[in-house]
Structure 1
Amino acid sequence: MKEYIPCLDNKDAIGRLASTEHGEKWERHCPAGKSRLCCIIPPPLGYKRPIRWPKSRDEVWYSNVPHTRLVADKGGQNWIQSQKDKFVFPGGGTQFAHGADQYLDQMAEMVPELAFGERTRVALDIGCGVASWGAYLLSRNVLTLSIAPKDVHENQIQFALERGVPAMVAVLATRRLLYPSQAFDLIHCSRCRINWTRDDGILLAEVNRIMRGGGYFAWAAQPVYKHEPSSLQAWNDMADLAKNLCWKLVAKKGYIAIWQKPVDNSCYLKRAPGTLPPLCDSNDDPDSVWYVAMKACISPLPGNGLGRNITKWPSRLSLPPERLKAVNSDALQAKPEVFRAEQRYWTAIVEGYLRGLGLKKEDIRNVMDMRAGYGGFAAALISQKVDWWVMNVVPKSGVNTLPVIYDRGLIGVAHDWCEAFDTYPRTYDLIHAAGVFMLEKNRCNAAHIILEMDRILRPGGWVLIRESRYMAAELEFLAKSVKWHTRILETESENLVESGNAFICLTNSYEQDLRTVILCGGRSSVLVL
């Protein structure tokens, strides 16, 4: 139970599956009704406050993730080693035993156009191991989301998160990944044990959906460099499928092959009739992902270039992206103006958080924004030069702003807060939620949301929630029921933090068995922290 993920550990539902041939047992199967546990998940015996970033990139406490299977299975590949009361991460991987930095240098030499930290800002590492590839890309200004299933190496994502590296549990099986179309500038798979060519290339077609036009797919695997018949056949099958997807092989050296996705639809329209995978139906929405089945088809690129014409980092963080035009919202103002206004608002709010709440920057690394909007909270943290990473969550019951979040150079995921999130207990140091309870009040049980927040929050962590005034009493009661330290502060307006009062929400409670929650209410709003 100490590592319980409700929608991935539902053994009853998994046992009733008609088939597990395509990885169905690693997908979401959420408990409902009486089978849904309403309890607090305890930390393991001897749990310590995590080692802080950036030191945590290279070492974590053994007692926080007390599992040695990865050491036994992968220690010889320089993934992870055990030293006294810690696990240490030398920076290696199955295909880069000499270190991730050397491996990244090789990729940059093979394809200079990757331009890490400029053209390439957002990456995805599939089957990531302990996420060393993504961990070392951070120093190159590349934000990598590392994903892997909760499978036989079930704690790899837990190790990644304990290190302070962006990661979540996810699997390529039968459903679309919970990311929008044209999300990632670079997608990487190093010995990720995925049969890319099965079922008419359905899995690589899914990679194609989430890869930006002009983006790159890097594959490090035995078929790239081995020459026995089975490897040659696997390489030929992969090369043929990539060609059918209109990917161009731009580099192949040693054990790495790198393809580039086209920037428009001209190649798709020139393919021979009957070529597989076909183009998707015109009524298919490539950004619809919640419990949507994967499709062995190619999502055409927008004819107007939306999602493709991205400014280099860091300019893309602050410029309204073109896909903002496609966001289906009820905004009365021009959307670029709403975008800029949101950014000004969150910049002021975040400045107040950092000034007035007693948040110690060095004590926080992993952050979640439960209702991210355009990603203004995360962007404001970057502008304040705070070395935290943010998982931007876009609730399925609201406006789908995920494409905009990725176009800004941030990461995020679609989710329904009536269900559990796909991460381990004790993932986040800080959880931010603006309007989540009001949004979901007619759909979800607030107690279930609070319990889920408690599950994924680290001991001693912080919760910051902005809500309507009438929710405050209920939320305070629920917060106290899970042993959170709470404080209510009345305010006069929505501009409470912009007022400059440094003590409006001050707290310094960091006891290991407590979380910190402060409620700040006013005439029109309540801030729950």
Structure 2
Amino acid sequence: MVSMVPFATSMSELSKYRTIIGATMITLLSLSLIFYLNSPSRTIGLSALSTSSPSRNDRSFPQPSSPPPPPAVLVERTGILDNTGAMSNDFEVGEIDQSVLEDLGNINGGKTEETKSIEVKIERFKFCDESLRDYVPCLDNVEEIKKWNQSERGEKYERHCPKEGVKLDCLVPRPVGYQIPIPWPKSRDEQVWFNNVPHPRLAEDKGGQNWISIMNDKFIFPGGGTQFIHGAEQYLDQISKMVPDIKFGVHTRVALDVGCGVASFGAFLFGQNVTALSIAPKDVHENQIQFALERGVPAMLAVFATHRLLYPSQAFELIHCSRCRVNWTRDDGILLIEVNRLLRAGGYFIWAAQPVYKHEEILQEQWKEMQDLATRMCWKLLKKEGYIAIWQKPLNNSCYLNRKMETQPPLCDPSEDPDYVWHVSLKACITPLPENGFGSNILEWPARLRNPPERLQTIDMDGHISRKDLFRAESKYWNDIIDSYIRVYHWGDLQLQNVMDMRAGFGGFAAALYDLQVNCWVMNVVPVSGFNTLPVLYDRGLIGVMHDWCEPFDTYPRTYDLLHAAGLFSVEKKRCNISTIMLEMDRILRPGGRVYIRDSVVVMRELQDIANALGWVPALHDTSEGPHASLKILVCEKRL
């Protein structure tokens, strides 16, 4: 039985006991609150805040079951607090149990306990066979591709990722004689090293079409192509004269070049302040996307086939196809309907192809089919001149609603999300435009980069937070960080051109690079594990793509000069092995390239170990918040 001390004890002794017991009970109550808030039913983790649609994500990626809740903490009532929660004046205190204070000291760091930790040594990764130097895992899966060889819809060019057990577990080797890429803009205007992309076939096949040629130890790019043999700049001038409202670099900021060749169209649009994403399949035109990336042009492997491209609705102000070898009218026009989804309201589709200007019967029939489909989709033929035809997508739904009921293709069901693109099959239906004008009422460049777009309100995220406040806060956050990176890490001296932000959010990182005049382009990746911000990125005038970082990315090895990952690994480690992600990062990172990881201290030790196993040179740095902050910066270099 614990003896009790009467309340009439001397005031000094009472004060002493009150202080000790008050501190004890407040600590216990605080611990109770912590346990309560961190129970599974109350915790809102980062991944939960960053999911786009629970039903979609649950369907694609089953989440691990929640751990059992911790046992309830029982707090014995002592009378210190009354029923209203106020401090009581007539409580009694007993003798102090020293073991309780020792336990509290342990909880608060007063005593260190001996803990056992298991360290798993990560062996250094070995190099793959030389035959894998241009390996793209999800597009070079030979066993899966064989199943689609007889199909004419292009499935063999789509993603077929290796299954568990046969995934890449080695370092993709660089070509013999690889050198640091020739910097921009020389790489655009003149040349790239032959040894960096040692594939002469494209030059042999297309040299006569003014695409590309070989001179000594370099590839030379004359700036021409099949449809602009007089040069890409003259071709762009012709388009501007045909439709002056296109206004490259002002009204038209983001474009898509389909079947891009060596990307001269996109390369020269850079000079007009336009970011053109060049896409092509990994097909018989050997390594055209690899040449584009080596030149420093935004590009990735993608194909119009049976699934949505990994870009949102109303993404591009202009979509261009110059002999892109796509049959736009097949399967009830399903591929041109996908172009319509990607094209911004009032945007332009440019088709430079033989059916536009040649008079052979079969080609004239193709032109009639194309014009008929475009008319039924409410596109307006603005101009047909020589071998170029330019259509415009409508600004609203009035034409769609005034069509005859039986007109094909029909409108899609309003419940379908036109911005969700991960593993979504194509449908032969037209995505209706938002009645509120979202996506069409964007500002001109560069004002659109800095102002919150209207489609920000459509992002499926925490509704209790002001999206515009988040947008502005993210912009300021990354401007401050990039400014410090330029000063501390000398980013201005790195000769960056191809940059990837692996968890882009609203695009604050890319916008800060532009504002602070770091001359490069950024591929903004929106992970499937987070909320879908792709529409916001494109409305700002940036480019981006949806991706699952538990799978390989659709680009060639040695694509990027810099990879940036903020908060990525602390989220994705719940879904897959982070060493798999870092091995993929090594594949797409150029020799001499750098990695900047900004993440929780909890994952940094493992990331450092993996970086060493990859042969990188890692260095851990504090953030501006100091050495005791919850975040650290891991800077890695993949040395040549």
Per the alignment, residue 523 of structure 1 pairs with: 629
Tell me if 1:16 matches 2:147. Answer: yes
Contact 2:149–2:156 (8 Å) recurs in 1: no
Q: 1:126 to 1:491 in 2, by over 3 A?
A: closer
Per the alignment, residue 102 of structure 1 pairs with: 234
The 1-side partners of 2:166 and 2:368 are apart by 47
Q: 1:331 to 1:356 in 2, by over 3 A?
A: farther
Per the alignment, residue 529 of structure 2 pairs with: 397
Per the alignment, residue 221 of structure 1 pairs with: 353
Q: Which runs of 5+ in 2 are unaligned?
A: 1-131, 636-640
Per the alignment, residue 267 of structure 1 pairs with: 399
2:423 equivalent among 286, 291, 295: 291
The 2-side partners of 1:78 and 1:11 are apart by 33
- Cα shift at 1:522: 4.0
> 1:454-497: per-residue Cα shift (whole Å, max 9, x none)?
0000001010111111101000000000011011224572xx6x
Tell me if 1:485 matches 2:591. Answer: no
> 1:319-347: per-residue Cα shift (whole Å, max 9, x none)?
10000000111264311111011000000
Tell me if 1:127 matches 2:250. Answer: no
CA RMSD across the alignment: 1.1
The 1-side partners of 2:316 and 2:441 are apart by 13
1:95 maps to amino acid? Q
1:164 equivalent among 270, 290, 296: 296
TM-score, with structure 1 as normaliser: 0.94
- Cα shift at 1:72: 1.2
Contact 1:492–1:522 (8 Å) recurs in 2: no
Q: What is the SS of the residue equivalent to 1:364?
A: coil
Q: Which runs of structure 2 are paired with 1:38-437 in the superposition (5 Å)?
A: 38-57=169-188, 58-330=190-462, 332-361=464-493, 363-437=495-569
Q: What is the SS of the residue equivalent to 1:523?
A: coil
Q: What is the SS of the residue equivalent to 2:491?
A: coil
> 1:258-280: per-residue Cα shift (whole Å, max 9, x none)?
00000000000111122111111
Contact 2:255–2:276 (8 Å) recurs in 1: yes
The 2-side partners of 1:526 and 1:280 are apart by 46
Per the alignment, residue 59 of structure 2 pairs with: none
Higher Cα radius of gyration: 2
The 1-side partners of 2:579 and 2:459 are apart by 31
The 2-side partners of 1:331 and 1:120 are apart by 32
Per the alignment, residue 512 of structure 1 pairs with: none
Q: 1:331 to 1:525 in 2, by over 3 A?
A: farther
Contact 1:278–1:298 (8 Å) recurs in 2: yes
The 1-side partners of 2:197 and 2:279 are apart by 18
Q: What is the SS of the residue equivalent to 2:165?
A: helix
Q: What is the SS of the residue equivalent to 1:186?
A: strand
- Cα shift at 1:17: 3.8
The 2-side partners of 1:347 and 1:118 are apart by 23
Per the alignment, residue 511 of structure 1 pairs with: none
> 1:72-94: per-residue Cα shift (whole Å, max 9, x none)?
11111110011000001000011
TM-score, with structure 2 as normaliser: 0.78
Contact 2:492–2:518 (8 Å) recurs in 1: no
Q: What is the SS of the residue equivalent to 2:592?
A: strand
Per the alignment, residue 57 of structure 2 pairs with: none
Contact 1:79–1:130 (8 Å) recurs in 2: yes
Q: What is the SS of the residue equivalent to 2:420?
A: coil
The 2-side partners of 1:19 and 1:393 are apart by 33
2:499 maps to amino acid? V
The 2-side partners of 1:481 and 1:28 are apart by 28
Q: 1:490 to 1:113 in 2, by over 3 A?
A: closer
Contact 1:361–1:386 (8 Å) recurs in 2: no
1:36 equivalent among 153, 164, 167: 167
> 1:213-256: per-residue Cα shift (whole Å, max 9, x none)?
00000000001001111111111000000001100001110000
Q: What is the SS of the residue equivalent to 1:363?
A: coil
Q: What is the SS of the residue equivalent to 1:33?
A: coil
Contact 2:201–2:286 (8 Å) recurs in 1: no
The 1-side partners of 2:460 and 2:505 are apart by 12
- Cα shift at 1:360: 4.5
Q: 1:165 to 1:400 in 2, by over 3 A?
A: same
Q: What is the SS of the residue equivalent to 1:213?
A: strand
Q: 1:379 to 1:490 in 2, by over 3 A?
A: closer
The 1-side partners of 2:525 and 2:339 are apart by 20
The 2-side partners of 1:450 and 1:306 are apart by 37
> 1:395-448: per-residue Cα shift (whole Å, max 9, x none)?
011010000000000000000000000000000000000011011111111000
The 2-side partners of 1:441 and 1:362 are apart by 30
Q: What is the SS of the residue equivalent to 1:352?
A: helix
- Count of residues paired in the alignment: 503
- Cα shift at 1:365: 0.7
Q: Which runs of 5+ in 1 are unaligned?
A: 497-520
The 2-side partners of 1:18 and 1:8 are apart by 13
The 2-side partners of 1:488 and 1:528 are apart by 5
Q: 1:115 to 1:416 in 2, by over 3 A?
A: same
The 2-side partners of 1:69 and 1:53 are apart by 24
- Cα shift at 1:281: 1.4
Q: Which moved more, 1:271-280 or 1:162-171?
A: 271-280
Contact 1:331–1:338 (8 Å) recurs in 2: no
Per the alignment, residue 447 of structure 1 pairs with: 579
2:185 maps to amino acid? P
> 1:260-316: per-residue Cα shift (whole Å, max 9, x none)?
000000000111122111111122110111011011110000000011101000100
The 2-side partners of 1:68 and 1:296 are apart by 40
The 2-side partners of 1:205 and 1:28 are apart by 21
Q: What is the SS of the residue equivalent to 2:310?
A: coil
Q: What is the SS of the residue equivalent to 1:459?
A: strand
The 1-side partners of 2:554 and 2:485 are apart by 27
- Cα shift at 1:359: 2.9
Contact 1:427–1:457 (8 Å) recurs in 2: yes
